[in-house]
Amino acid sequence: MRIAQRSALPGFAPSFAVTLVWLSLIVLIPLAALALRPWELGVLGVWRSVTEPRVVAALRLSFGTAALAAAINVPIGLLIAWVMVRYRFYGRNLADSLIDMPLALPTAVAGISLTALFAPKGWIGALLVPLGIKVAYTPLGILVALIFVGLPFVVRTLEPIIMDLPLEAEEVAATLGARRAQIVARIVLPALLPALLAGFGAALARGVGEYGSVIFIAGNMPMISEIAPLLIVIRLEQLDYAGAAALGLVMLLASFVILLLLNLLQRRMIVHA
Amino acid sequence: MSVELRDLRKAFGHVTALDDVSLTIAPGEFLALLGPSGSGKTTLLRVLAGLEFPDSGEVVIDNRSMHGVPARQRGVGFVFQHYALFRHMTVARNIAFGINVRPRHRRPKAREIRARVQSLLDLMEIGHLGQRYPEQISGGQRQRVALARALAIEPKLLLLDEPFGALDAKVRKNLRIWLRMLHDKMGLTSIFVTHDQTEAMEMADRIAVLRSGRIEEVGPPAKLYAEPASIFVHEFLGESVRFSGTVADGRMRVDALPDVGTATCSPSGPAVALIRPHEIGLLPGPGPARCERQETLGPLRRTRISVLDQAFDVLTPDGMWTPAVGQTCRLDLTRARVYPAADDRPG
């Protein structure tokens, strides 16, 4: 830190102070409260509270579905981002705004529309019933909702990176005899890998915390289609604040570790990119 | 391998990049495409490599029409101005790329590839850099890597787009000489794009001067310099001093210098006389020219001369008579080349 030194960019002290105060008020203090609250149950009580079978099932569902949804969003999002950046077509601006819709739409609205579509009598649901596929009120429904809300994160993370991809690298690869598929596999994808990971992380984080769009389509059956955020709400309604905080803390730690790992992995890739 | 361009045309929207370009390049030749920016030289190079497709006309390489032949099947080495190295690969993997992407039955064994890469690295005099990444080496070294990567596919035709554009002056000069020697040693046919006339004059067997998508003139550097066919080429290659005047009865009269005349076979009418600073003669005696300043640059003396509203430098070997500062003199323009003024389209 260089607080006392004269700098060509003055204003370090006031801006640092504002940053620190704001970060404390908005992020650090609430998180600290979350981290402190559960322990009134005692260590054993916290352990019991977060290892209940219903809790474990909910956590597994939340993280598993979010990871799967993010993994599905990565190739689809890559394709969409590629098309949006590399091609000019009629209706491109419209398509571009559509991508942001999942961000702008109130999540409850998204959840209700998806439920209506995928319910056994809905437009899409009715087509799937004869195939024996049930989407609404099952974990599959959760997956659909999380794919929906996660997509813009992948697309928007990738777009600027694709835009900056040097076209010359692809051209030079072509003059060296590479086929298009080889260029994609050896030149384009390696260059995009860090961004793909970042997009995956962003979609995953969003999916783990997603609540509004999921609870309508999930059916919320304990042990089967009940997500962890919903379980927190249920505990709050039962006035089990410490139990809710314990579950919250577990989610916080798990998300933190996952994002940290993704970040480290990404950093290792960027070193030479 | 010979290269033939026939009536190539290419437009981007309303902008004409190539306008009826025809050119033949002999095997083993080192040809420079010289021209101001926007003259179409890079487009021409990209058309040759198959990275751009002409609207009409034909590219023939080694007696084979390149119509419909994609870049990857042309076997033409291309070096980009900014090298376009693969940033996530080591130098050695960059160079091996063209070999590694071959179908398996045409790919040599891993050990052979390694040996070939090493010999290319040695040829480029960067033998120790194989395991570095492009961002860990200097600009001149990157240039050599780009060149080695292009040479790894054993191209008979090498295309270079402003190969020294991004390098500082000293590195540039060394690389020029080295590249020319490499070209001769490997028996390549090379075409390189540049906007730097010194570079073109120093390296090329022949120079093709481009202007707004057309080839203005092609020829050996010395001939282009000594007998340029047009005002544009005269002024683009080397320094020129320009006088306007009129041709009548086979003599050019310069407006500013009524008593100076030059014999010419240019047709009668308004004309432009162009002369190099070292071709202007300074003669003692009262005249319209006045010496403003004088410096000695080693074996040459540079005299600043003003005539009416025009001022220019004259270079004379040290020891020749020159006016003193403030003194007037007469000018000898007999070595000037005369062009009809109608040729003087803006470039």
| Domains of chain B: residue spans and CATH | 3-233 (3.40.50.300), 239-343 (2.40.50.140)
Question: Residue A173: its chain B contacts at CB < 8 A?
Answer: 86, 97, 101
Return the C-alpha torsion angle A24, A28, A30, A34, nearest 10: -160
**Cβ–Cβ of A176/B74 closer than 8 Å?**
no
Question: How far off is chain A from B78, nearest CA to CA, in Å?
Answer: 7
Check if B75 contacts A (Cβ < 8 Å).
Answer: yes
Lowest-pLDDT range of A20-24, A254-258, B166-170, B203-207: B166-170
Nearest CA in chain B to A171: B51
Say whether pLDDT at A65 is over 80.
Answer: yes
Contact between chains at B50 and A175 (C-beta distance less than 8 A): yes
How far, in Å, CA of A248 to CA of A254, rounded?
A: 10
Assign A6 a pLDDT band (cuts: 50, 70, 90).
low
CA–CA min distance B325, chain A (Å) = 50
CATH number attached to the domain at A64-226: 1.10.3720.10
Cα–Cα distances in angstroms (integers) from residue A187 to residues A247, A265, B35, B82, B160, in the given order? 43, 19, 33, 17, 22
Using the beta-carbon criterion (under 8 Å), do B97 and A171 form an inter-chain contact? no
Q: Label residue A132 by pLDDT band (50, 70, 90).
A: confident
Closest C-alpha among B17, B102, B110 to residue B57: B17
How far is A236 from B248, CA to CA, in rounded Å? Answer: 105
User: CB-hemisphere CA count at 13 Å for A176?
Assistant: 33
User: What proportion of chain A, given as a percentage, has pLDDT over 90?
Assistant: 58
Mean pLDDT of A153-179: 93
Stretch B271-284: mean pLDDT, rounded? Answer: 91
A7 has a pLDDT exceeding 80: no
Q: What is the pTM of this model?
A: 0.80
Q: What is the predicted pLDDT for the residue at A271?
A: 59
Chain A residue with minimum CA distance to B46:
A171
**Residue A198 contacts residue A258 (beta carbons within 8 Å):** no
ipTM above 0.90, yes or no: no
Which residues make beta-bridge pairs with B214? Answer: B211
Please answer yes or no on whether A175 and B88 come within 8 Å at the CB atom.
Answer: no
Q: Tokens 């080295």, residue?
A: B178
Asked if pLDDT for residue B252 goes beyond 90, the answer is no
Average pLDDT, chain B: 89
Inter-chain residue contact A172 with B80, CB threshold 8 Å: yes
Q: Which residues pair with B282 in a beta bridge?
A: B331
* B window 20-59, beta carbon within 8 A of A: 49-51
Residues in B closer than 8 angstroms to A88, CB to CB, are none
Q: Would you call A174 and B76 a contact, using CB atoms and an 8 Å cutoff?
A: no
